[in-house]
Each structure stands twice: as C-alpha cells, then as structure tokens.
Amino acid sequence: MADRSDIRNIVILTGAGVSAESGIDTFRAEGGLWEQHRVEDVATPEAFARDPELVLRFYDMRREAIQTKQPNPAHEALARLDREWEGELLIVTQNVDDLHERAGARRVLHMHGTHLNAWCTACDARSPWRGTLIDRPACPECGEKALRPDVVWFGEMPYEMDRIFSALREADLFVSIGTSGAVYPAAGFVRNARDLGARTLELNLEASQGSHLFDESRHGPASVLVPEWVDEMLG
Ligand code: OAD
C-alpha cells in the first residue's frame, strides 16, 4: 500500500469471504449456498410469493446457524480499525450476519439487510428477530402476520445507496474484502471509488472477477490479510 499519510476517509466493502473462516458458507464456491439452492427458488420476491414456506424455512435455518458462529480475526481487526481510526470510516457489508458488530465494529452498514431483523410488509416496521418466521408470528408493532426476512432479494434495491455513494465520494481509500465482485451494485463500487479519486485495494482468497480494477490486489485468507493490513494502517 502506498503512503498512508494522505488517507483520511476509508470505505470498506465486505462479502461472504470475510465470514468464511467463521464457518458461514459463501455463495459461489464449490458446494456454496448457490450450488445447494437455486437463487430463483429462495432469494427473489417471486419465490416468496410462490412458495413462502420454502423461503421462510431457508432463512430460518440460516438465521439459526449464524447465531452459533463467532467472529474471526478478520472481523476483529476491522473492529479495531473502526475503534482506532480517527478519520471517516464505513464498513459496507453485503453480509447478513452480525459478526462485524459482534466483533465490536460500530460503523457498519448492511446493504443487503440482516438475518436478525424481521420486516413487516403490512406496517413496514423492522423488529429485531432471533427466532423463526415459518410459524407466521404476529408483527410486534401492528399484530399482522406479515413478517418476512429483512434481507434484500434479487430484483430488490439494496439499502442506503445514498449513504454509500456519499461515503464513496469522500473516500481516499476503498478496500474490498472477501467478495467475488459478481453482484451489482456492490461489484461496481471499485469503479465508482476510482472514478471519484480514491485508491483501491482488494483482499481476497484468490483473484476475483474484478481484481484487475484495483490498484493493488492481495491474495490469501482474510484472517491473515486483514489483520496485516489493519496493522499497516494503524502504524
Ligand atoms: P461470493 O460467494 O460470491 O464470494 C466470496 C468471495 O470470498 C470469493 O471471491 C472467495 O474467493 C472469497 N473467499 C472465500 N473464502 C475466503 C477467505 N477465507 N478469505 C478471503 N476471501 C475468501 O460472496 P459475495 O461476494 O459476498 O446477495 O456475494 C455477494 C452477494 O451475492 C451476497 O451478498 C448475496 C449473494 O447472492 C444477496 O443475496 C442479495
């Protein structure tokens, strides 16, 4: 990484690779989630309309599973950077687990939603949720039995895009960690950041689809690369 003295504002994009070493399946690896399940069956509004039981069961299982997992050294290093970095910092995560927060990070934005909220399609309230939805519980706010996972499905708009673009506009450094660069708009952030003048760094197990777009790309497990990079940043 070039001289860090002129870096004040950082945007970090994380993907499934940051949670892989905590035992949470990634999506596109061999044996990953999208090999075990068809996206069109479980992760679209149409799938939910067609077969709500299948979709709710899929997310209930995932919600239960993430609660048994623990943050790994990559989450912990990012939480340390969040605590100690005096400039602006935003961790934009595509992950729907809460491992960044459980490691202690505070400046986290879940652009694809979170497993740990239920969203009421009747009154629009979002309620913290740890149990199941398959049994069609009532919304704690309005009492309607219209809760769905608060997870962004294919064909839906990711959350807080305005806030993300405003952080990208201010960013001196954009870092992408553990994401394949296969899903837009997140996959486009590196181009946006570069066009807006930021330096760009990728930390990923292997070369990704978009590696050539970064100023620098480092390959290896997040549990090693992220603590090393955070040490460099904090000096
Ligand atoms: P993917 O499964 O597409 O990619 C995971 C990336 O992490 C790959 O590039 C792996 O090489 C890398 N990786 C795996 N293990 C790693 C490790 N230990 N250390 C570092 N890198 C590692 O997951 P995402 O890019 O997060 O969206 O997928 C993006 C979106 O597609 C998800 O948020 C989800 C999915 O469909 C929705 O459901 C809307």
In tens, the pLDDT along 4-37 reads 789 999 999 999 999 999 999 999 888 888 888 8
Beta-bridge partners for 129: none
Q: Which of 94, 175, 177, 225 to mutate to test the pocket of ligand 1 (most atoms within 8 A of CB)?
A: 94
Task: Report the amino acid identity of residue 53.
Answer: E
pTM of the model as a whole:
0.96
Among protein residues, the one whose CA lies closest to atom 25 of ligand 1: 179
What percent of the chain has a predicted confidence (pLDDT) above 90?
A: 91
The Cα diameter of the chain in Å comes to 55
Q: Give the rounded distance of the alpha carbon of 151 from its chain centre.
A: 11
Q: What is the mean pLDDT of residues 160-188?
A: 97
Higher-confidence residue of 174 and 35: namely 174
CA–CA distance, 205 with 219 (Å, rounded to integer): 5
- Token representation of residue 183: 């899903």
Active site residue 115: no
Q: Which of 14, 28, 62 to mutate to test the pocket of ligand 1 (most atoms within 8 A of CB)?
A: 28
Q: Is 91 exposed, middle or buried (0-12, 13-18, 19+ CB in 10 A)?
A: buried
Task: Report the amino acid identity of residue 91.
Answer: I
Task: Report the amino acid identity of residue 16.
Answer: A
Helices marked H in the chain: 17-20, 33-36, 39-42, 45-50, 52-66, 73-84, 99-103, 161-170, 189-195, 222-234
In tens, the pLDDT along 190-220 reads 999 999 999 999 999 999 989 999 999 999 9
